[in-house]
Amino acid sequence: MKIPAMDLPIDHFLRAAAKAPDRIAIKDGDLTLSHGDLAARVNAVAAALQDIDPAPQSRVGICGYNTVEHLTAFLGTLAAGKTWVPLNPRNGEEELSRMVEATAPSIIVADADCMGRFDPGSATVVRGRPTGGSQHACGGDLNLAALMSDFAGRMPKRHDLAPDDVQAIKFTGGSSGRPKGVQQTYRVWHTCIDLMTRAFELDGDDRNLLAAPMTHGTGTLLVPILAQGGMQVFMPQPARPAAIIDAIEKDRVTTVFLPPTVIYMMMAEEDLTKRDFKSLKHVIVGGAAMRPDEIKRGLPMFNNALETCYGQTEVPQIVTVMRSRDWLDNDHRLASCGRATDRCDLRVVDSEGNFLPTGQAGEIVIKSDLVMKGYLDMPEATAETIKDGWLYTGDVAAIEEDGFIYIKDRIRDMIVTGGFNVFPSDVEAVLGQHPAIKECVVFGLPDDKWGEAVQAAVEVHKGQTPGEDEIIQYVKSRLDSVKAPKRVHFVDELPRSPVGKVLRREAKAQFQEA
């Protein structure tokens, strides 16, 4: 069955722009753009992309930081009926080039300061934001501003596309070896937009601060908020914690998506409690779980607006949702990622694939219209991940009687020490309560006696000098001694991903080599 030509994810925004063209859609310093102006730019870009490559569903890579040009190119790609390939410039050149090679985009839009970050192959390269870096265009000199001018007033051709056609190819893993390209369909995107809008009760008054990269979790808020008549607020990049605080206060931000690491750094800023955050409605914690003790401490700092959701690139963003009100009235739930949203069937299974009863921990499996089409050109990996319509996440969790879900860890991150199973997140939750510890990560290393030994790497607050024995005894006093680290490694900085997530496997590899 074909979907109507107008029923594409971009139409959620275009219909809103037609109804209220004068509402402000973009604020970037002194620059503002209305919904009507943004829609006109998007249609012009879409028509230009189709002129460069008329084929529907052809791929457009976009490499840029958070800029107006990046957002316009992204929306234009959706309006052109093409497949978006996000290329986060914070990734390494080799990794970006592998993504380009795997997807073979016919067009790449890249801001000037991202040129040279990748090998474009045979793609036509279009400059996005023209300043901030090299002006060479990897073999071409097209630019987005000129295309918008040349195609002003033109409307893109609408293609007859099906729900299971691909809207985006987003990569997961890929730091070494072959990256996995996750194919997200129109069905996935429509479902995600619907669930994000309803789960967080987004409306036309929302002002979303683009602090974290648009290529990742922040990107799932772009269309839902624009579709409600809301605003996207840009800020200077890279987004420093103090600058994020200033932007929230100055621009009366209601919504922001941030990883825990950035939130912790914001909480460490001087006089945070004196700042005016009354506008905040949604500080959405993403990319990793925030420690329960820090959630409790952070809630009043951020106008009781801390919230979270759970998903993966393979089943994006909004499988579960935890609103701040569910955290506020129950300390036990501070360790939960919320309950399943109404278009997601979430269960836990044992190693044989049998559903487990309430309270027992097992692997999360999901059946939903959010589930990806599959990995690009990887049928075996797809078959290993999607079985009988259920997506196997590799995450371990338990579901309690009230429906709240408590994620333990990735299956392969679980430590088996002396015959006992230890989930690193349980140990990290306790380590994080030590007053000297700023950030931590727990992992297992091979050990002749224990099979695996629990070890931890920690960053400490400035001026703090805790001893290894002190930290080990601290954990032992709060957990079963088998879960306490056998070694604690003090580091100036833990390994992090391009979006600030602490990387457990990289830390483990670092100390395993040592």
Neighbours of 151 (CB within 10 A): 21
Grade residue 513 by pLDDT with cuts at 50, 70 and 90: confident
**Cβ atoms 430, 475 nearer than 8 A:** yes
How far is C-alpha 418 from the chain's CA centre? 36
Q: What does the pLDDT look like over 146-193, one tens digit per residue?
A: 999 999 999 999 998 999 999 999 998 643 456 799 999 999 999 999
**pLDDT of 226:** 98
Q: What does the pLDDT look like over 67-101, one tens digit per residue?
A: 999 999 999 999 999 999 999 998 888 889 999 99
Q: What does the pLDDT look like over 254-298, one tens digit per residue?
A: 999 998 889 989 999 999 999 999 999 999 999 888 989 999 999
- What is the average per-residue pLDDT within 447-454? 87
Domain chopping of the chain, boundaries: 35-185, 240-411, 417-513
Q: What does the pLDDT look like over 289-344, one tens digit per residue?
A: 898 999 999 999 999 999 999 999 999 999 999 999 999 989 999 999 999 999 99
**DSSP H or E segment with residue 385:** helix 379-385
Grade residue 500 by pLDDT with cuts at 50, 70 and 90: confident
Domain 417-513 class, CATH top level:
alpha beta
**C-alpha dihedral sign at 289, 295, 299, 304:** positive
**pLDDT of 319:** 98
Q: What is the largest CA-CA distance in the chain?
A: 72
**pLDDT of 132:** 56
**pLDDT of 2:** 53
**pLDDT of 173:** 62
Is pLDDT larger for residue 451 or for residue 52?
52
Show the CA angle centred on residue 97, arms to residues 95 and 100, nearest 5°: 115
Is pLDDT of 396 > 60?
Answer: yes
Q: Which residue type, as a one-letter code, is found at position 396?
A: V
Q: Is 192 helix (H, G, I), strand (E, B) or coil?
A: helix
Is pLDDT of 60 > 80?
Answer: yes
Assign residue 424 a region: left if phi > 0, alpha if psi is -120 to 50, beta otherwise?
alpha
pTM for this predicted structure? 0.86
Residue 332 dihedral angles phi and psi, to the nearest 5°: -60, -35
**pLDDT of 499:** 77
**pLDDT of 193:** 98
β 142-143/124-127 pair status: parallel
Q: Which fold has domain 240-411?
A: Rossmann fold (3.40.50)
Assign residue 139 a region: left if phi > 0, alpha if psi is -120 to 50, beta otherwise?
left
Check if 35-185 and 240-411 are the same fold.
Answer: yes
Name the CATH code of domain 35-185 (choices 1.10.630.10, 3.40.50.980, 3.30.830.10, 3.40.190.10).
3.40.50.980
66-80, 110-124, 196-210: the lowest-pLDDT one: 110-124
Q: Is 456 helix (H, G, I), strand (E, B) or coil?
A: strand
Q: CB-based contacts of 4: which residues, under 8 Å, 6+ apart?
A: none
**pLDDT of 139:** 41
